[in-house]
Chains A and B, each alone.
Chain A
């Protein structure tokens, strides 16, 4: 199952490192990654694969929320279908 991880906030050292570390520790594979500055905000979007992972979207969300709080970021983890269904026919 694929999900999209979105990280938005003020640019700081270590955002990518911390987020990808949590994913790595939980055996979630990063399939694709893009990073840009949108409306003056650091915006990172990752497509991740939960295939071999032993955690659920909910559990990863909880773990990433700890980083989000610590670094003043907004982090979402959402199953991919929500975006494809909204923007693709």
Chain B
């Protein structure tokens, strides 16, 4: 029989330390739905999603009950919708919004929490459909509930499309203004990427990439609380011990994800894609990445030393998780979404954590500037410049970076914006008072970087 201490350890991880499977995400290719007529296309999209994902939620719930492991979300990711917009006879904003509404309806019909993939990849240039789809994002997000959108504006191979960066600053602003009654909630469903991955199960940036198959199951694990509790037991010991402890914990967490992914894949008769071994915080106290960093000895997350602590954490999570799963992918690392992390919220409120420090942290974390609320009067050019900085970090370091930023209408520094649920509470953080307008107005492309001669 399995050692009783191991059984109790597993149960404590779930009951007291917030271990959970964050999401089972079904990737569904919509390439077969492309066609010139919008009505036919919407019907095909709706039918395909509701038929492929009809058992997803039930299967997730069964696994949850039989194994006693909470599965917080069931989600769907689809082929970037710009592909469908391109196939239309005459792509218009109205038609793209109709597609977004179709995704929303289909996702609600099967009972999932989110559907991602209202996306366009324009890191080198725009097609006509992509241009229209991006223009439609503010309305699409404002007029739907659970559709998530992402746009790729840069990559290590292609450089940064500064025209798209400029446009995305404006799109983020428009999305915020269209949802001013919810303090810019649409922006919480919009991610601007550099080097996006094709198999990400996490929102808002999930889409099913071009190299993916017809249908696939990807699983995202979580468990910052478990890592924090494990580190409490090695207080004061050196970093070798810290890294080793995180690795062992990440291994155990990921094994759980691997098991759930295999079970879900077998029961749904859909191939298993990857386990994304990310530490994804929630606003619940005890489920915070910031608290892990503080457990390492930092007085507050955001102080000097935070980047080093996060680098160690991010790397140890990957090392521990890689052996636990047959296929690791997605974003895999530590997320630092400010409004979704109790410790980050606290650190931002007391002034320990600034936008500048967060930018430095994104060089070593799994993604980028995430769920950051900034003053409502921030200009589109400043938002574009924030996106450009973040894309540059991703491009040069060959990593995924992203910006999910909310210029909450009417909000000023010091205010607090409530999003509710997993999206949490965002303290409004100040941006630089100096402009970047002329820089952003230049347009064009920042060339791809040289990938040798690194020093």
A and B part of one assembly: yes
Q: A: which residues have CB within 8 A of B?
A: 4, 6, 8, 32, 34, 36, 38, 43, 45, 47, 56-58, 61, 74, 76-88
Specify which chain B residues have a CB less than 8 angstroms from the CB of A38 in the assembled complex: 4-5, 8
Give CA–CA (A32, B69) in the complex, Å. 23
B contacts with A, residue count (CB < 8 A) = 23
Q: Across the interface, do A6 and B8 meet the contact criterion of CB distance under 8 Å? A: yes
- Which A residues touch B10, using CB under 8 A? 82-83, 86-87
Total residue contacts A-B, CB cutoff 8 A? 69
Q: Which residues of B contact A88 (CB under 8 A)?
A: 2
A4, B244: Cα distance in complex, Å: 29
Contact of B66 with A79 in the complex, beta carbons under 8 Å: yes
Contacts of B255 in A (CB 8 A): 85-86
B66 touches A58 (CB 8 A): yes
Q: Is B351 an interface residue (CB 8 A)?
A: no
For B67, list chain A residues within 8 Å (CB).
78-79, 81-82
Q: Which residues of A contact B15 (CB under 8 A)?
A: 74
Flag B55-84 by CB within 8 Å of A: 1 or 0 each.
Answer: 000000010011111000000000000000
The answer for the CA separation of A79 and B2 in the assembled complex, in Å, is 12
Q: Is the CB of A82 within 8 A of B68?
A: yes
Question: How far is A8 from B7 in the complex, measured between Cα atoms in Å?
Answer: 12
Extra contacts besides A8-B11, A83-B2 (18): CB < 8 Å: A6-B8, A32-B1, A34-B4, A38-B4, A45-B8, A57-B66, A58-B62, A58-B65, A58-B66, A80-B2, A81-B259, A82-B68, A82-B256, A85-B255, A85-B256, A85-B258, A86-B6, A87-B3
Q: Which of A8, A32, A78 contacts B66 (CB 8 A)?
A: A78
- B65 and A76 contact, CB distance less than 8 A: no
* Complexed CA–CA distance, A37 and B262 (Å): 35
A56 to B3, CA, bound (A): 25
Which interface residue of B7, B67, B255, B259 has the most chain A CB atoms within 10 A? B7
With A57-B65, A78-B67 already in contact, the answer to whether A86 and B256 are too (CB < 8 A) is: yes
